[in-house]
Structure 1
Amino acid sequence: MSYSVAVAGASGYAGGELLRILADHPDFEIRTVTAGSNAGSPLVDHHPHLRSLAHLMLQETDAATLAGHDVVFLALPHGASGAISSQLGDDVLVIDCGADHRLASASDWAAFYGGEYAGSWPYGVPELPVEDGKQRDALVGVNRIAAPGCNASSVSLAIAPGIAAGLIDDSDIVAVLAVGPSGAGKSLKTTYLAAELLGNAVPYGVGGTHRHIPEILQNLRAAGAPNPAISFTPVLVPMSRGILATVTAPLKPDVTVEQVRAAWTDAYSGEPFVQVLPAGRFPRTSDVLGANTALIGVTVDPAVNRVVAIVAIDNLVKGTAGAAIQSANIALELPETTGLSVNGVAP
């Protein structure tokens, strides 16, 4: 069976990455692409690399254009998805790659985003450990999915195994991330100009202000943390895509490095897209470029009795578009790996 697909926000980075992956998906047929100010122009003008989709024209983003498809991916700015998705019927699988439906708490939405709260949908990180298993169980057969924030999914995947296994003190989690600017979209801002970013590293969202913090805490509570606290600091670095997240937390008394490694390897055993590296090995962002893969290196710093988990993902693939398509596969009960690759691009 072939499913008809529409992608809203197709001229942006996330929309383009959705289309790059969907173009080779054997069960999805891309019929419609939409945009805001770029509507009326050829898709290939904005994504010259998508040669197989050069025949598509960008249409206006509205519910009437998106209706009638089996699957709709929304790659829109926060605050824009809620109104459109509410006009699409229950017979449509809608995957929101924006923030509108990630948070279960209306107060968290008000504090970190503002505007009308659109409610929460099942969260699209299938491998995430939760108290009763894995998050994928909540995705089977659903018609609405909230794809993750890229920073949030990387931090959550890095540290959730230690929470689920009861090995760490979740009151003092520290995460520092090196992040490529493509995660911020195509908007023209001085911070993202090459002259500002090349040869530079720029912290942002400092001091508990980043919008992915409530999403991370929500994930950690789902993994079993009763009252988690995190110090979260992302840093823009001059690579177009990728996240390298270093996450540390204090271990409970008498926890051994063997127990730590067992918790992480057991948590992701058999997962095609989340892989724990051998002891002493740590990932690089170049190892996952273009792949729907999260690579994790984990160890213990005995001097301070803290676990150190380092995860690398491509923010546009495993962090956004790949996670969205993986979750759509699960919802439609297709093989979870369909159309997705664990192989990156090098050099």
Structure 2
Amino acid sequence: MTVSIAVAGASGYAGGEVLRLLADHPGVEVTTVTAHSNAGQRLIDVQPHLRSLDYLTFAETTPEVLAGHDAVVLALPHGASGAVAASLPDSTLVLDCGADHRLTSEADWERFYGGEYHGAWTYGLPELLHADGTRHREHLSGARRIAVPGCNVTAVTLGLAPGIRSEVIEPADLTAALAVGPSGAGRALKTMLLGSELMGSASPYAVGGTHRHIPEILQNLRVAGAAHPSISFTPVLVPMSRGILATITARLEPGADASSVRSAWESAYSSEPFVHVLPEGHFPKTADVVGANTALIGLAVDEDAGRVVVVVALDNLVKGTAGAAVQSLNLALGLPEDLGLPRNGVAP
């Protein structure tokens, strides 16, 4: 049986990437795309790289248009998904690529986002380690409401969870500095995202514990076993259209060494199709994962500082957003988890 899918917010970067992946997915058919200001235009006039979907025209994003599909992917601005999702039948599989249903704490939502709190859905990070050694994918089977993780969150969570779970790193005094491409901020026109502002420059933003992804990261680390995690998180915009390179550090637990650190990460991800730990002395580049649903991880122990250094590279639009949505969709529908998802990147 072919699954019919509607993608809301399909004129943006995240929505376009969802469509790119679904276009080659053998188990689904994209039957409806919606947008706001682009409603009435042909899809390929806005997303000209999606030639195989040239039969689609943007409709208005309304409950009536989205109803009747087996699955709906919401690629809408933060704060816009809650009301739309509430109008859809419980039987419809809904995946929210925005933040509206990620946080389990209403207080965290109020502090970092504000506006109406719509509650937490099943979290769409299959590889997330739990303190008891299980993976989060077990919660995705048969789910009908799925919150796709934040892209920065995915990088930091994948980088830290094995050390937390194996108790080889301390969950406090964590640091994460991320070089990020501006596509993660969406397609809306903003001065800081203009080419003339980005080219030849690196610009920090949301400095000093204000980034909206911080509570989501801490939420995931608690799932992995950290009782009271704390992290200093600093993202930096760099002139690449897509990609995240996260450099993460953590203090070693007493008695932990380079061997136990490597064992923790390698055992955590040895059977994961989309998360790969590189050999000792090797570290990833964002160019290695462009277009792929793959996260690459490099590890080192800074013995003088007594810290683990974890470097994670992923494509913010694939593994960080659209790929996570399709991966979760596959699990929810009982399809092979890797169906329609590329492991290979694009080079040069």
Fold conserved between structures, TM > 0.5: yes
Cα deviation, 1:189-239, whole Å, max 9, x if unaligned, reads 110111110000000010000000000000000000000000000000000
Letter of the aligned partner of 2:266 in structure 1? T
Alignment of 1:57-72 (within 5 A): 57-72=57-72
The worse-fitting range, judged by mean Cα deviation, of 131-140 and 74-83 is 131-140
- Alpha-carbon offset, residue 55 of structure 1: 1.4
SS at the partner of 1:174? strand
Alignment of 1:157-306 (within 5 A): 157-306=158-307
Displacement over 4 Å in runs of 4+ = none
- Find the counterpart in structure 2 of residue 79 from structure 1: 79
Cα deviation, 1:35-64, whole Å, max 9, x if unaligned, reads 011111111111100001111100000111
SS at the partner of 1:129? coil
Percent sequence identity is 65
What is the aligned length?
Answer: 347
SS at the partner of 1:6? strand
- Alpha-carbon offset, residue 99 of structure 1: 0.3
- Alpha-carbon offset, residue 269 of structure 1: 1.2
Find the aligned partners of 2:247 and 2:122 in 1 and give their Cα distance: 27
Letter of the aligned partner of 1:80 in structure 2? A
Find the aligned partners of 1:8 and 1:43 in 2 and give their Cα distance: 12
Letter of the aligned partner of 1:187 in structure 2? A
Find the aligned partners of 1:131 and 1:170 in 2 and give their Cα distance: 13
- Alpha-carbon offset, residue 254 of structure 1: 1.7
- Alpha-carbon offset, residue 90 of structure 1: 1.3
Find the aligned partners of 1:197 and 1:291 in 2 and give their Cα distance: 24
Find the aligned partners of 1:63 and 1:278 in 2 and give their Cα distance: 49
Find the aligned partners of 2:214 and 2:173 in 1 and give their Cα distance: 14
SS at the partner of 2:123? coil
Query: Is 1:50 equivalent to 2:50 in the alignment?
Result: yes
Letter of the aligned partner of 1:112 in structure 2? F
- Find the counterpart in structure 2 of residue 3 from structure 1: 3
TM-score, scaled relative to structure 1: 0.99
- Find the counterpart in structure 2 of residue 329 from structure 1: 330
Find the aligned partners of 2:8 and 2:33 in 1 and give their Cα distance: 6
- Find the counterpart in structure 2 of residue 120 from structure 1: 120
Cα deviation, 1:237-295, whole Å, max 9, x if unaligned, reads 00000000011000011211000000000001110000000011000000000000000
- Find the counterpart in structure 1 of residue 32 from structure 2: 32
SS at the partner of 1:107? helix
Query: Is 1:149 equivalent to 2:161 in the alignment?
Result: no
Letter of the aligned partner of 1:128 in structure 2? L
TM-score, scaled relative to structure 2: 0.99
- Alpha-carbon offset, residue 183 of structure 1: 0.2
- Alpha-carbon offset, residue 93 of structure 1: 0.3
SS at the partner of 1:308? strand
- Alpha-carbon offset, residue 98 of structure 1: 0.3
Letter of the aligned partner of 1:107 in structure 2? A
- Find the counterpart in structure 2 of residue 310 from structure 1: 311
SS at the partner of 1:145? strand
Cα deviation, 1:122-152, whole Å, max 9, x if unaligned, reads 1111011111311111111110100010001
